[in-house]
Structure 1
Amino acid sequence: MNNSIIKTLDTIKRFIDDITDSTELLNKYRQSVTDFTRNRKITLYILVAWLMSQVKKSLHIEIDSFWNNFVKSGNCPTTAAFCKSRAKLKPDFFHDMNIELVKAFYNNCQTARNWHGYRLFSIDGSNLSLPDTDNLRRYYGNFTNNKGEQGPAANISISYDLQNQIISDSVMTPFSGKGNGELTNGLRMMHSNPAGISDRLYLLDRLYGCFATVKIAATDDFKFVCRCKTNLSETVKEFIKKAKTQGYIQLVANYKSKKTLNNLQIDVSIGDRITVRAVKIKTEDGTTVLLLTNLTEEEASAETLAQLYQIRWGVEVAYGIIKNEEQINIFSGIRDCCIRQDFFCAMLLLNIESLITKLDDGAIEAINQCKSKENRPPVQIDRNFTWHVLKDTLPLWLLDNRRDDRILECMATRFLYDLIESNKGKRYPRTKRQRALRGKFYTFTNYKQAI
């Protein structure tokens, strides 16, 4: 497994090499045909390594630290030079690099986790607040939070492998309210499947419980388990009132479904019907939840579906890492190009961190076996500390011409430092605390910055 993980991570360097060696590929990711042609201090490799170093502080400080710690050649370029260089690189560079990394993972790691042969994915979206500039307001639109404050925001969505902690695809689009942007983004990712992953099984929340999801699943031949709003339609309401716990219902295409699917080149007319299995389950608090699925009763009983749907929470955990450990809301620039570079970099870095963590799976398992014999609680890697290690070491690996994989192994070893008690299966009450009323900085009682 370790060799396959390292081989997968080497895809990143091969991707950059292929682009620097091919004018055709380079043209796809640079803004002008003259970009990255002259012999400059800031090469494509150096620029990519810097952008992947999680730039959160003052640009002057970050550039000086990066250059003196990793490049160590000549005088450090100015902040303006780095800003001009990054403007030459299209944000899609990092998105496509991540897609190649994902493809390599599923091709190389034959022992990657699955559920009865299916890859368990969840698609979920969120709103991302952006720097308040006129240009970003015009392009992304305004978002109003629960305090009535307005500002530019984007809809972001990820497709997340729940068992292997891998982001298979990500999207960032202008803000659209009432969940419309999130639903459209999610359906598009399911339909496009850029990494070409087969045997997909999506676990989805109630936003996706609609005709469009069922139709795309039938068109693209993937499986899904989806929560459904109990007031979605009259048919659903009638089924909820019935005594039986499962059966088959029909969903009808409306104008919204037709428009959404037609935009994805799927032919649908208003009034078209599709049949789907419906299962009622009870939550711990006694609430009735309706699940829709195209898995048969032989493939998954009602009890199995209830257990399976709980796994969906992993995508919420991933968003917690993206927003807290990676600090996605802190951008290294205020232009759209910078915003999108930072976003796709963050998605790529989460996959890199997850893959390096997998190098420690054997060690963690051995440690927990010993602790089990001693009746001590299991431990896990401190995911806050791993981001510090990445910032401290990843650029060194990217800029290493010797292709020394020991750097990756060194990072994995550092991840094992000061393990923390596992929180798997634990639940903690959510405590809301008042933030400081004034000042830019204040101390959190349960959180410290990783980078």
Structure 2
Amino acid sequence: MFKAKHRLTENSFNRTRKLPFSVLLTYFLNLTKGSYQQELDNFFAVIQSNPAPTQVVTKSALTQARKHLSHTAFINLNHQVVNDYYTDHPALKTWKGFRLCAIDGSKLRLPNEPDIIETFGVHTGRESQKDCSLALASVYYDVLNHIPASILFMPQNETVQQPIWNPLCPTIYPCLIEATMHSGYIVCIRQKNSPFVCEPNQ
């Protein structure tokens, strides 16, 4: 069910390969620091209990397999982890019964791919830089429990015209949100899943 929901076509990951859906997803959940090939060799050495890293999958095969995996798989997994934490954690830190959260964003330079350019557009770089696509990555962060509860990517020039909690906030716990207009956000406060304040922060 999870695989069917988060693959890009009905035929993706149907054949038996060295990078099936579960293995590919597990690989990308690791914090990779080295080159693709080195990380792949080390990864398969661990999961196959090999004494020394050997080449099992090439970085080209990884690139091809990645094209069949939807980014929504990682969004779904993150929501599950966050929701389980808020549901089961016995010692949640709150501020007067509210979850205290902050939202901020950073600009990210994106790869030069046709689908990315279509969605995010092209922005003129500096004199020493090529034109590129830029995204605004907005992070919704629980500042008392140190949890990055949600992340939203949007075109860099797209100002948030609706309360940012609508696409970002998990809904299972009352929350107080603080945001700043310099990043294109709207300040809003929610109690019992209903907004009662929503105004720009001048």
* Structures share fold, TM-score greater than 0.5: yes
- Counterpart-to-counterpart distance in 1, 2:88 and 2:192: 28
Three-state SS of the structure 1 residue aligned to 2:8 is coil
Alpha-carbon deviation of 1:209? 9.5
| Length, aligned pairs only | 198
Aligned to 1:90: 70
Residues 188 and 91 of structure 1: CA distance in aligned 2, closer, same or farther (over 3 Å): farther
1:114 correspondence with 2:87: no
Alpha-carbon deviation of 1:175? 2.3
Alpha-carbon deviation of 1:164? 0.8
- Counterpart-to-counterpart distance in 1, 2:156 and 2:169: 23
Task: Summarize deviations over 1:354-392 as a string: whole Å, max 9, x none.
Answer: xxxxxxxxxxxxxxxxxxxxxxxxxxxxxxxxxxxxxxx
Alignment of 1:134-283 (within 5 A): 136-144=116-124, 149=129, 150-176=131-157, 180-181=158-159, 183-184=160-161, 187=162, 189-192=164-167, 195-207=170-182, 213=187, 217=190, 221-222=194-195, 228-229=201-202
- Counterpart-to-counterpart distance in 2, 1:192 and 1:39: 36
Q: Quick one: which amino acid aligns to residue 156 of structure 1?
A: A
Identify which of structures 1 and 2 has the higher relative contact order when contacts are C-alpha pairs closer than 8 Å and 6+ apart.
1
- Counterpart-to-counterpart distance in 2, 1:147 and 1:113: 48
Alpha-carbon deviation of 1:131? 3.0
CA contact (8 A) 1:140 1:154 kept: yes
Alpha-carbon deviation of 1:56? 4.3
Aligned to 1:48: 25
Alignment of 1:285-324 (within 5 A): none
1:39 correspondence with 2:7: no
CA contact (8 A) 1:121 1:159 kept: yes
More helix by share: 1
Aligned to 1:30: 7
CA contact (8 A) 1:204 1:224 kept: no
Q: TM-score, normalised by structure 1?
A: 0.39
Aligned to 1:60: 37
CA contact (8 A) 1:202 1:225 kept: no
- Counterpart-to-counterpart distance in 1, 2:24 and 2:193: 38
CA contact (8 A) 1:201 1:225 kept: no
Three-state SS of the structure 2 residue aligned to 1:142 is coil
- Counterpart-to-counterpart distance in 1, 2:4 and 2:82: 23
CA contact (8 A) 1:209 1:228 kept: no
Structure 1 unaligned spans of 5+: 1-21, 230-451
Three-state SS of the structure 2 residue aligned to 1:228 is coil
1:124 correspondence with 2:112: no
Q: Quick one: which amino acid aligns to residue 59 of structure 2?
A: T
Alpha-carbon deviation of 1:222? 4.5
Q: Which has the larger radius of gyration?
A: 1
Q: TM-score, normalised by structure 2?
A: 0.79
Structure 2 unaligned spans of 5+: none
CA contact (8 A) 1:27 1:33 kept: yes
CA contact (8 A) 1:202 1:224 kept: no
Alpha-carbon deviation of 1:188? 5.2
